[in-house]
Amino acid sequence: MVEFGFKLSPSSRINLDLRDKASFSKLVEIEPDALKCMACGSCTASCSAGIFEETSLRSALLGLQNGDKEKALKLLSHCMFCGKCTMVCPRGINTRHLILSINKIYQVR
């Protein structure tokens, strides 16, 4: 094949028209706290897994709302359920139940 020097890159833009609204609504049904995050970053800062592998509940929630399920699940895949984020969350979000609920709705074992 002749290499012309052109290539198609996938768009990195978030398209909210394509996001998965239904799954997020289901998540909110079993854990309404999913709506309460104000993106302060306390969970990410205190995460004991985050020191080794990129882990962030804040970013994961944002990813789910932006339709980036893969990224969101990756950001939670190293969670050890230690519960430190529950202690620091200023909005009192039940973060452990939220992460378990995300895994349940978005079908991760």
Partner 1 sequence: MKNNILIIGGGPAGLEASSILVKMGYNVILVEKEKELGGHLAKWDTLFPDGLKAEDLLKSLIKKTEGVKCFTDTQVQSVNILDKSYNVILSNGITVLADALLLATGFDLFKAEKKEEYGYGIYEGVITNADLEQFFKGKFSIKKPKAVGFVHCVGSRDEKACNPACSKVCCATAVKQACHIKETFEEADVFCFYMDLRMFGRHYEDLYLKAQKMGIRFIRGRVSEVAETSEGRLLVKAEDTLSSKPIKVTLDTLVLMAGMRPSESGYMVGHQLNLSVEEDGFFSTKDTMLSLQKSNLEGLFFAGAATGPKTLPDTLHEARSAAMEIDNYLTKK
Binding mask 2-21 for partner 1 (x = CB under 8 A): ----------xxxxxx---x
Contacts 24+ apart (CB under 8 A), 82-86: 82/48, 82/49, 84/46, 84/47, 84/48, 85/42, 85/43, 85/46, 85/47, 85/57
The number of residues that bind partner 1 (CB under 8 A) is: 20
Structure tokens of 66? 């932006």
Interatomic CA distance for residues 10 and 20, integer angstroms: 19
Residue 66 interacts with partner 1 (CB under 8 A)? yes
- Does residue 56 belong to the site contacting partner 1 (CB under 8 A)? no
Out of 42, 44, 65, 86, name the contact with partner 1 by CB under 8 A: 65
Q: Give the interface with partner 1 as residue ranges (CB under 8 A).
A: 12-17, 21, 28, 32, 35-36, 38-39, 58-59, 62-63, 65-66, 91
